[in-house]
Structure 1
Amino acid sequence: MTRANMMNNYFNPNSMYTEEDFKCRFWMMHHVFECVLRDVQQVNPYFRQKRDKAGRPSFSPHQKVTVVIRMMAYGSPANSMDETHDMSESTCLDTFEQLCVIIVQVYKDEYLCEPNQ
């Protein structure tokens, strides 16, 4: 899925799909996705839009977070994201690791409970 298609389908104000469609596809509400996206962008520059060595835009923050959320929601292997999101297996795995570390770092105090006996 190209960045433009993904943005038009799910993230632009007049997107093709509804909030309910988003929830079914990503297993979370749209505003939760946007909150996570905003938080990870503030913590880690990896999730900010950059340009590659050829001067072209690299994967957008939305693409990176979308790939990881879909991998987690559906148990999709990293090598399957190449067909749908044009992201290599190594980039998917790196993005997955980066996001998981940030999620724990940002949300552990609020959502991670101490183990009980």
Structure 2
Amino acid sequence: MENHEPYFVQRRIATGTLGLSSLQKVSAAMRILAYGVGADLMDEYVRIGETTAIKSMKFFVKAVVSIFGDEYLRSPNSNDIARLLAVGEKRGFLGMLGSINCMHWKWKNYPTAWRELAEGHAPKVNYSINGHDYTMGYYLANGIYPSWSIFVKTIPTL
């Protein structure tokens, strides 16, 4: 982080003492993102104030997207799709791209990120189950997710 984002470089503050370390700032950001805790809880764990924790998280997220976005934060390519389908098939689920239930983000964060899926755009996949031919991959989901063709619900909604 220090090599990519100057915010994370430890500096001397106005009193001449060292300010917060990059480890403190990154730890605060990762705890907020990983555990969903409030920024105001960082003062007890990493000795960092709420405003600084929020700022650290914002810089951290921007840096991660900048550093890893092209490789990991993109739509799946043909090699990714083939790998995901092989994993699903090995588990007995032809055409499955993954399980959305294994993701620990609240649904309110998804509408923007999953816009293409909502419009019915998904990787083209050809498979047959019980004599029915399908041309689109799917994600396993439960009843809390929208009724989109990309989601196959394991527990139907009432």
Question: By percentage of residues, which structure has more strand?
Answer: 2
The number of equivalent residue pairs is: 78
CA shift for structure 1 position 55:
0.8
Q: What is the aligned counterpart of 2:36 among 57, 66, 75?
A: 75
Contact 2:27 2:46 in 1 (8 A): no
Classify the secondary structure of the residue corresponding to 1:107.
helix
Which 5+ residue runs of structure 1 have no aligned equivalent?
1-39
Query: How far apart are the structure 1 equivalents of 2:46 and 2:27?
Result: 9
For 1:43, what is the secondary structure of its paired residue? coil
Q: Distance in 2 between matches of 1:85 and 1:66?
A: 7
Q: Which amino acid aligns with 2:44?
A: E
> Are positions 1:55 and 2:16 aligned together?
yes
1:102 aligns with 2:102: no
1:1-117 matches, within 5 Å, as 40-114=1-75, 117=121
Report the CA distance between 1:48 and its aligned residue.
1.0
TM normalised by structure 2 equals 0.47
Q: Distance in 2 between matches of 1:112 and 1:85?
A: 28
Larger helix proportion of the pair:
1
Give the aligned CA root-mean-square deviation in angstroms: 1.4
Q: TM-score, normalised by structure 1?
A: 0.62
Give the residue type in structure 2 aligned to 1:47: F
**Per-residue deviation at 1:86?**
1.7
When Rg is computed on C-alpha atoms for both structures, the one with the higher figure is 2
**SS where residue 63 of structure 1 aligns?**
helix
Look up the equivalent residue of 2:23 and give its one-letter code.
H
- 1:70 and 1:45 map into 2 onto residues whose CA distance is 21
Equivalent-residue separation in structure 2 for 1:48 and 1:69 (angstroms): 17
Which stretches in structure 2 are left out of the alignment for 5+ residues? 76-115, 122-158
The residue identity in structure 1 corresponding to 2:58 is E
1:81 partner SS:
helix
Runs of 4+ in 1 over 4 A off after TM superposition: none
